[in-house]
Structure 1
Amino acid sequence: MEKDLLTVVQLVHAAYPSITIITDLEEWLAGNFNPPCAFIQTQAVTERGNTLTSYKILADAGIVLHHPKVKGIYQPISSEPFRSLLRREKYSFQGTAEALYIDIDNETLEIDSEKKDRTEITFRFEYRVSIPKPEVTKINTFEVEMEG
Structure 2
Amino acid sequence: MDKGLKSWAEIVRLVYPDLTILRDKTQWLAGNFDTPSVFIETDLVSDKTHTPCADRIVEDVGLVFHFDKERVTEEDEGEPIPFDLEPLFTFLRQKRFCYASKRFGVALVMEPPRNRPEKDRIEVTFRYSYLLAVPKVPVPKINEFRIGYEGKELTP
Measured against the shorter chain, the TM-score band is 0.7 to 0.9
Deviations 1:71-93 (A, max 9, x none): 22211111101110110000011
RMSD: 1.9
8 Å CA contact retained: 1:36, 1:68: yes
Structure 1, gaps ≥5 residues long? 143-148
Larger radius of gyration: 2
After TM superposition, give the deviation of residue 137 of structure 1 in Å: 7.0
Say whether residues 1:48 and 2:48 are aligned partners.
yes
Cα separation, partners in 2 of 1:8 and 1:99, compared to 1, 3 Å: farther
After TM superposition, give the deviation of residue 105 of structure 1 in Å: 1.1
Match of 2:99 among 93, 97, 102: 93
1:1-148 paired onto structure 2 within 5 Å: 2-71=2-71, 72=77, 73-106=79-112, 109-113=113-117, 115-135=118-138
Q: How many residues align?
A: 137
Q: Percent identity?
A: 32
Higher relative contact order (CA 8 A, sep 6+): 1
Deviations 1:57-82 (A, max 9, x none): 11000000000001222111111011
After TM superposition, give the deviation of residue 49 of structure 1 in Å: 1.4
Moved more, 51-60 or 93-102: 93-102
TM-score by length of 1: 0.85
Question: What secondary structure, in the 3-state scheme, does the structure 2 residue paired with 1:132 have?
Answer: coil
Q: Counterpart amino acid of 2:3?
A: K
After TM superposition, give the deviation of residue 99 of structure 1 in Å: 4.5
Structure 2, gaps ≥5 residues long? 72-76, 144-156
Q: Counterpart amino acid of 2:136?
A: K
Cα separation, partners in 2 of 1:99 and 1:63, compared to 1, 3 Å: farther
Counterpart of 2:147? Answer: none
After TM superposition, give the deviation of residue 116 of structure 1 in Å: 1.9
TM-score by length of 2: 0.81
Question: What secondary structure, in the 3-state scheme, does the structure 2 residue paired with 1:7 have?
Answer: helix
- Inter-partner Cα distance in structure 1 for 2:104 and 2:86: 27
Instruction: Please identify runs of 4+ aligned residues in structure 1 that moved more than 6 A.
Output: none
Q: Counterpart amino acid of 1:130?
A: A
